[in-house]
């Protein structure tokens, strides 16, 4: 009987030892599984957030890279005209957000790196969020004039003040352009009238544009290559439309021929700004959706 009891006692010890072994192995397996999950990318919440942040940065870099910037400077003996644009070259539309109604800044420095002109210095802007949606090939374009300039070497910096793209924050100022230019001293004895300003135009629909006049009375001449010889123009002061859109018919055939045009503009004194630039926009209307195409911005006069 004692031998049987000893045997049963030994069997119970063996069974207990086996059960403890199974428990230890199970716990070890659970720990190993968790480590493998982390190694296979199924790790902590912090790891997942880091991955999401990296993907967002890659998406933002792609959006920034699909936006093309351009700036051109037309300098005379006492003025400089800046034409600049921000174009969506991607296939998908983008929505650009701005922290105020000011969409861009223009600054000019002289040869001593001193700031001599700031576009926004004499202007006010509404402090509310604004946005612009740009489809493929569409652009934000603008033109500003700096007048009464002394001869010398200068550099202009144009910055589009984009705060967000598709509601994602933009860091720093990725849409900034710089362009050096020179204001030459006027030659003595020249017969060219100082009041005539010249602009090249985009070369696609408009070219060889000149502006004469002041104080609200202007004559704009040039050449156009437009569908059926017709295009539109309007005038604004940077905040308000002072001349509503009107149609113009060229003095000849329509595209593909180049034909001359002449526009006389009269703006009453009460509509002229105290500070700012009066700018004419000339453009075609799309045959598909009526949207403006081949827009050219022509500064008429700065106040």
* pLDDT tens-place string over residues 17-34: 666 765 655 565 555 554
Q: Does domain 69-188 have CATH number 3.40.640.10?
A: no
User: What would you measure as the largest C-alpha separation in the chain, in angstroms?
Assistant: 138
Question: Residue range 6-23: average pLDDT?
Answer: 60
The closest of 226, 223, 199, 203 to 211, measured between CA atoms, is 199
Phi and psi dihedrals of 256, rounded to 5? Answer: -90, 10
pLDDT of residue 154: 97
pTM for the predicted model, two decimal places = 0.54
Asked which of 50-54, 74-78, 286-290 is least confident by mean pLDDT, the reply is 50-54
Domain 195-303: CATH class, spelled out: mainly beta
What does pLDDT average to over the chain? 85
Whether the pLDDT of residue 1 is over 80: the answer is no
pLDDT value at residue 195? 75
Give the model's pLDDT for residue 169: 93
Confidence of residue 46 (pLDDT cuts 50, 70, 90): low
> What pLDDT shows up at residue 8?
55
């Amino acid at each position: 009987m004692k031998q049987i009891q000893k045997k049963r006692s030994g069997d119970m010890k063996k069974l207990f030892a086996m059960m403890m072994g199974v428990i230890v192995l199970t716990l070890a397996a659970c720990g190993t599984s968790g480590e493998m999950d982390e190694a296979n990318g199924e790790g902590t919440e912090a790891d997942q957030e880091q991955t999401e942040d990296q993907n967002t940065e890659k998406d933002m870099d792609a959006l920034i890279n699909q936006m093309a910037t351009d700036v051109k400077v037309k300098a005379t003996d006492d003025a400089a005209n800046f034409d600049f644009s921000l174009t969506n070259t991607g296939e998908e539309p983008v929505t650009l957000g701005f922290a105020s109604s000011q969409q861009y800044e223009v600054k000019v420095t002289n040869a001593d790196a001193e700031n001599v002109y700031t576009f926004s210095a004499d202007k006010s802007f509404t402090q509310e969020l604004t946005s612009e949606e740009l489809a493929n090939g569409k652009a934000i374009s603008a033109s500003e004039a700096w007048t009464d300039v002394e001869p010398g070497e200068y550099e202009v910096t144009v910055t589009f003040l984009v705060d967000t793209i598709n509601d994602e924050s933009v860091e720093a100022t990725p849409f900034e352009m710089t362009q050096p230019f020179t204001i030459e001293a006027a030659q003595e004895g020249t017969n060219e009238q100082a009041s005539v300003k010249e602009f090249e135009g985009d070369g696609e629909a408009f070219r060889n544009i000149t502006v004469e006049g002041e104080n609200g009375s202007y004559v704009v001449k040039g050449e156009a290559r437009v569908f059926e010889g017709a295009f539109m123009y309007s005038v604004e002061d940077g905040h308000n439309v002072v001349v509503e859109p009107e149609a113009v018919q060229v003095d000849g055939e329509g595209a593909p021929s180049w034909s001359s045009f002449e526009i006389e503009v009269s703006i009453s004194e009460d509509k002229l700004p105290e500070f700012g630039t009066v700018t004419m926009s000339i453009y075609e209307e799309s045959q598909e959706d009526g949207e403006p195409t081949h827009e050219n911005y022509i500064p008429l006069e700065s106040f």
